Structure 1
């Protein structure tokens, strides 16, 4: 679907004006393609992204539309599961999700000795 089809979908299905400056995101049936429709004040922009592997995590909509924060939208566009993002840095303590619906603490990785033994 192109500019006109997506703008018409915004007007009919969502009862919104696509020319107000809001960002509208659409996902393909397989979940590997996103299309973003946005009016920047001069004209409509249509951005498209296809993942080579994996699927975009799509929010559950109860009313036909979902509002996302800028951070959630950024993670969605990057293909990151925005519902439970994983930190890239840990502070020594590690926790992981266990199958029994509880968190368990993983032992911290051993730290290297500040003064390694001399080589022989």
Structure 2
């Protein structure tokens, strides 16, 4: 389970997410702080390994 605390300028929001399978790939912390880009955060919350993302589905045809 991952919990995310976000300040939006008016107050704090708490988000929680649990994966049904697998685990979250968490980046290393420097001096107790983790810095994530918006893309890394999105992949982290979807359970995607952001270090080497793999496309799992490709359309077979267009149109």
TM-score computed with the length of structure 2 as normaliser? 0.78
Tell me which residue corresponds to 2:61: none
1:47 & 1:84 partners in 2: Cα distance? 25
Give RMSD over aligned pairs. Answer: 1.7
2:45 & 2:32 partners in 1: Cα distance? 20
Provide structure 2 residue ranges, at least 5 long, that are not aligned to the other structure.
59-63
Higher normalized contact order (CA 8 Å, seq sep 6+, divided by chain length)? 2
Instruction: Provide Cα deviations, 1:3-58, integer angstroms capped at 9, x if missing partner.
Output: xxxxxxxxxxxxxxxxxxxxxxxxxxxxxx01110111221100100111111001
2:12 & 2:30 partners in 1: Cα distance? 27
Tell me which residue corresponds to 2:40: 72
Q: Which runs of 4+ in 1 moved over 4 A?
A: none
2:30 & 2:56 partners in 1: Cα distance? 32
TM-score computed with the length of structure 1 as normaliser? 0.44
Q: Are 1:35 and 2:8 counterparts? A: no
Q: Which of the two has greater strand per residue?
A: 1
Aligned residues: 58
